[in-house]
Structure 1
Amino acid sequence: MHSYRSLVEQARSLEKERGISLDFTDKNIADSWVRCFEHGLRPNANPVDTVLNQKELGQIKEQYQNIRDFIVPELELLYSQIAGSNFMVAFANNDGVVLDTIYDNQFLNSQASKVVIPGSVWLEKYRGTNGLGLSLQTNTPTIVAGGEHFFTSHGGLSCFASPIFDHNQNIVGVVDASTDTSSRQDHTLALVKLSAKSVEQKIFLDAFKHTNIYSFHPRSEYLHTNSIGLLAINEEGHIEGVNSNTRIMLSGLYKEDTKDFYNIFTTPFHNVAHEMNADKIIQVKDWLGSSVFMKLFQKQLTSAPASNLKPSPPTYRPCDDCRGSTLKEQKCLLIQKTFDQLEGKITAVSKALNISRTTVYKHIQKK
């Protein structure tokens, strides 16, 4: 068993041998080299050539068929954008198993096309540092170019990979592009990332086709791009799911237990739903003061699956005395929700919101 220090020293020695400094490229690659040494791999040896048999590959392809229905058209589009420049594109599942590949003629005639094949497994512990394996390890888009690969035999390759996430932030697969050259091409990674984002969006739209899905963005002209946040919201204004862009744009506001539209935005959902469902673009503010534009992105396509038919959380409506005044409505709804969250304890609500017990009681009685 090697100490961590000795593993780092081996990685530093490999840097010097190859005449590169990973401190100036990507620390993730240096960390990957350390893990490779820890797995007992040696840079001048051969990778562990792990390839599934046809039966195993067929079973996994069948398991991933729903996702592959979205993936394959994206791979074809990505291929059309970079083909003719000695490239291949591929999709691998979250276990690093390559399921689908498209090669251009130049890459097909290279030695690399013999190893990046359907059924091949590209986890670090088998293939050393590589784009696909590193994306799975770090949950981030990656470039591994030339000598940044752990194995010397991969030194003529450059790999560009980006993970695909579902709405629960789980990786469901990786889009990869590889070339039989050793250059770092940032524009290629940008195309791969766009492809992964496009697949994420399609998976999200399919997962929540039983309810309306709304898009939002700080700039209205971006409401049809892959940079939008997506919210799956049912008729009661309860959020059933969000995409990864939403988690970024609403950081500090959205949490897994945040299910009410009004917990994030200062306008109750029922106040704006009619306009959005009429294909109008609206502008709303979140509770941190930022404004976003929002519109209906996909109308409900199917009824809710049986597994989703659970009792709906309570719907909050402003009381008659507060209706018509935005400020009063917001205060009224906040009191009602806090009342339920604190299990009907009026004194606790009074302390939490710094209001009198009489005020709490008034809004609860008249709702």
Structure 2
Amino acid sequence: MDVVHGGHHAHRVEAALGSGAAATSSLVASWQRSSRLHRLDPADYKPPRRLGSREFDQARQRMEPLLRAAQSSLDRLYLAVGGVGCCVLLADTDGVPVDRRGAVADDDTFRAWGLWTGSVWSEDAEGTNGIGTCLVERRPLTIHCDQHFFSRNTALSCTTAPVYDHEGNLAAALDVSSCRADLTESFVNLISVAVGDAARAIEAVAFRQAFPDRRIVLTPDAKSGSASLLALDKDDLVVGATRAARRVLGPTSEWLGKPVPAGDDAGGRTCPSEDLARAERAAMKRTLARVDGNVSAAAKALGISRATFYRKLGRVRRDPH
């Protein structure tokens, strides 16, 4: 970037900070944090700080479980965006990319911009940027070109989504970055959808890996997509929930510390007789399915008489739910 353009951007940032727009603009609020809280200068041209090899190895080790869960999603995301000059970064909660995907032909360019593993992209170090601001605000966002705080980053377009672990805690930021000048708004929107889908896929895989011996089910109202999952034990008690599931059903860590049936809400409000009837219906239906609808065999398997089974079966058929 030329110094003249960089100076214009720095003046624009300073003017926005003095306008009082931080109260209504999340972008200006981030610029304000960058300037007043973190004491950064938008005209600073120092490149991003890089971790030493030992620090970086430790950062990767802390992320190891999530890194294992993320590999296939990172590959698929790169296949979707790599052909148009984008790179894919997975950063830890300190804003340090610990894994990336990118074309070899673009490596020198991205390394020069700091879009590389081991670089520090936290908001307190780099000001407003995709990774750092996403981690602070805990929401998907795009920081496009001159929305960055530092003048030297205004050639970049960064689209980022937060990634949450199996306990609903912020665990990483998934980012697609480009330094192409011809990225259109419509294509940036497509990237945003792809990044969000990949983040949810990583969460789902990580959740399943955290509960390998549990039954994983979608929440009854899975509006948040494939990452709205519950982990159930052999008795259908909830032992885990993704962040998306917690937002739908309202479970807290305290609630998950108690044995709660999958059909209950966070307050544990349910009718014991309804529970018993529901369990009975489910057991009868499962047993009938296993013996191909043979009532005599089903009754024997359940240890009850045919007459009792027929009587209960009548209730099941009257109440198919």
1:51 aligns with 2:54: no
Structure 2 unaligned segments of length 5 or more: list them: 1-9, 290-313, 317-321
Instruction: Evaluate the alpha carbon distance shift between residue 120 and residue 143 of structure 1 in structure 2; reply closer, same or farther with a 3 A threshold.
Output: same
Q: Which of 187, 203, 207 lines up with 1:204 in the alignment?
A: 207
Match of 1:86 in 2: 85
Say whether the 8 Å CA contact 2:200–2:227 is kept in structure 1. no
The aligned runs of 1:299-338 (5 Å cut-off) are none
Instruction: Evaluate the alpha carbon distance shift between residue 138 and residue 17 of structure 1 in structure 2; reply closer, same or farther with a 3 A threshold.
Output: closer
Instruction: Evaluate the alpha carbon distance shift between residue 158 and residue 114 of structure 1 in structure 2; reply closer, same or farther with a 3 A threshold.
Output: closer
Q: Deviations over 1:111-166 (max 9, x none)?
A: 66541111111111111110000111011111100100000111110001111101
Instruction: Evaluate the alpha carbon distance shift between residue 218 and residue 65 of structure 1 in structure 2; reply closer, same or farther with a 3 A threshold.
Output: closer
The aligned runs of 1:263-342 (5 Å cut-off) are 263-264=264-265, 268=275, 270-271=279-280, 274=283
1:62 aligns with 2:65: no
Distance, in Å, in 2 between the alignment partners of 1:149 and 1:22 is 16
Q: CA RMSD in A?
A: 3.5
Deviates more, 1:109-118 or 1:136-145: 109-118
The 3-state SS of whatever aligns with 2:98 is: strand
The 3-state SS of whatever aligns with 1:121 is: coil
Distance, in Å, in 2 between the alignment partners of 1:69 and 1:274 is 37
Instruction: Evaluate the alpha carbon distance shift between residue 248 and residue 116 of structure 1 in structure 2; reply closer, same or farther with a 3 A threshold.
Output: same
The aligned runs of 1:234-273 (5 Å cut-off) are 234-251=233-250, 254-258=251-255, 259-261=259-261, 262-264=263-265, 268=275, 270-271=279-280
1:176 aligns with 2:175: yes
Q: Which of 193, 196, 199 lines up with 1:190 in the alignment?
A: 193
Say whether the 8 Å CA contact 1:165–1:171 is kept in structure 2. yes
Structure 1 unaligned segments of length 5 or more: list them: 1-10, 281-323, 327-367
Instruction: Evaluate the alpha carbon distance shift between residue 110 and residue 207 of structure 1 in structure 2; reply closer, same or farther with a 3 A threshold.
Output: same
Letter of the 1:33 counterpart = W
Q: Percent identity?
A: 24
TM-score, structure 1 normalization:
0.63
Letter of the 1:179 counterpart = S
Match of 1:129 in 2: 128
Say whether the 8 Å CA contact 1:214–1:232 is kept in structure 2. yes
Match of 2:160 in 1: 161
Q: How much does 1:180 deviate?
A: 0.6
Match of 2:73 in 1: 74
Letter of the 1:157 counterpart = L
TM-score, structure 2 normalization:
0.71
Decide which structure has greater helix share.
2
Instruction: Evaluate the alpha carbon distance shift between residue 228 and residue 117 of structure 1 in structure 2; reply closer, same or farther with a 3 A threshold.
Output: closer
Match of 2:137 in 1: 138
Structure of greater relative contact order (alpha carbons < 8 Å, 6+ residues apart)? 2
Match of 1:102 in 2: 101
Instruction: Evaluate the alpha carbon distance shift between residue 131 and residue 63 of structure 1 in structure 2; reply closer, same or farther with a 3 A threshold.
Output: same
Distance, in Å, in 2 between the alignment partners of 1:56 and 1:78 is 27
